[in-house]
Amino acid sequence: MVRSKQEKVLEAVAYTVMTLVLIIVIYPFLLLFMSSVTEENSLLINGYSIFPKEFSMGAYKYIWNSRSTILHAYLVTLVITVIGTLSHVLIVALAAYPLSVSKLPGRQLITFYFLFTMLFNGGLVPTYMFYTTVLNIKNTYWALLIPHLMFSTFNMIICRTFIKGNIPTELLEAARIDGASEFRIFFSIILPLGKSIFVTIGIFAGLNYWNDWTNGLYYINDQAKYSIQMLLNTMVRNIQFLTQYGHSTDSTMKLPSISLRMAIAFVGMLPILILYPFLQKYFESGITLGAVKG
């Protein structure tokens, strides 16, 4: 098939635009990594660059010296992320499926309750008191799982929209006529057919769990229960403290403050960068299908 001149021009423009977008997306990651392997004085004098004049692995050596603590924090974060993501998806799906049924009694009132609590809450202090005095989760792994992360009204609305707009009502009615219970319908029909949207929601939840450090800041004092983000932030604060207020010894002066921040950021997001390409197809299809109908 012979393409017209206009089609060739449009294709060239599309490739050019996508190349520019790709460069814009990749450049911050490349700059982050190159800054993490740049010598500290070079960063202070020359600033950030993807072509550093002096290379140094001092930041990664500092992290490597704390490898046992970091690996333990990685393990804590991995377990919390897996358990939290699976729990989040299951709870969101269990809330979204009934609300997608138009005959559910009180459906509008329940939906209003979810939306109201999404927009308004009791505030930080009452929430902290509730979790620490009533649920008593301070310095426990529950503190990394439950607060602010176990459920999301936004994800529930996306999931409900997908179920209502993309899973045929006739299929659900046929299952009910055959004697299937609602739980049987949920586990045998809703979960398999909604795999794309549930993986998408799982990616959202997994990123939130992996990147979360506020729960650790509020509820965790025991370093053995630190997540990777909390531990890395603590390392950054320690470096800043030693640099600003420590004695002017040779070891203190050689601490890679700026490059260490970049290395810590890169180490923290590296597992997500590795995992995301394997889940990208589910993410794209889930976002597309979940936005077809409102």
Nearest to 34 by CA among 294, 286, 263, 250: 263
Which tens digits make up the pLDDT trace of 209-266?
A: 988 888 988 999 888 888 888 887 887 777 766 666 655 454 444 555 677 778 877 8
Quote the CA–CA distance of 180 and 188 in Å, as a whole number: 10
Residues 209 and 144: their CA atoms lie apart, in Å, by 8
Predicted local distance difference test score (pLDDT) of residue 269: 78
Give yes or no for residue 85 having a pLDDT over 90: yes
Q: 71 in helix, strand or coil?
A: helix
State the Cα–Cα distance between residues 89 and 152, nearest whole angstrom: 9
**Which pLDDT belongs to residue 199?**
86
For residue 38, report the phi and psi dihedrals to the nearest 5 degrees: -100, 140
Torsion angle of C-alpha atoms 171, 172, 177, 178, degrees rounded to 10? 80
Average pLDDT over residues 132-144: 91
pLDDT band at 283 (very low <50, low <70, confident <90, very high): low
- What is the pTM (predicted TM-score) of this model? 0.76
CA atoms within 13 A on the CB side of 277: 4
- Within a domain: residue 28? no
CATH of the domain at 70: 1.10.3720.10
The predicted-structure confidence for 146-167, as pLDDT tens digits, reads as follows 988 888 888 999 899 888 888 8
Q: Is residue 216 part of a domain?
A: yes
Q: Is residue 16 part of a domain?
A: no
Asked if the structure places residue 22 within a domain, the reply is no
Instruction: Count up the domains in the chain and report the number.
Output: 1
Q: Is residue 100 part of a domain?
A: yes
Domain residues for the domain of 142 are 66-290
Q: Is residue 271 part of a domain?
A: yes
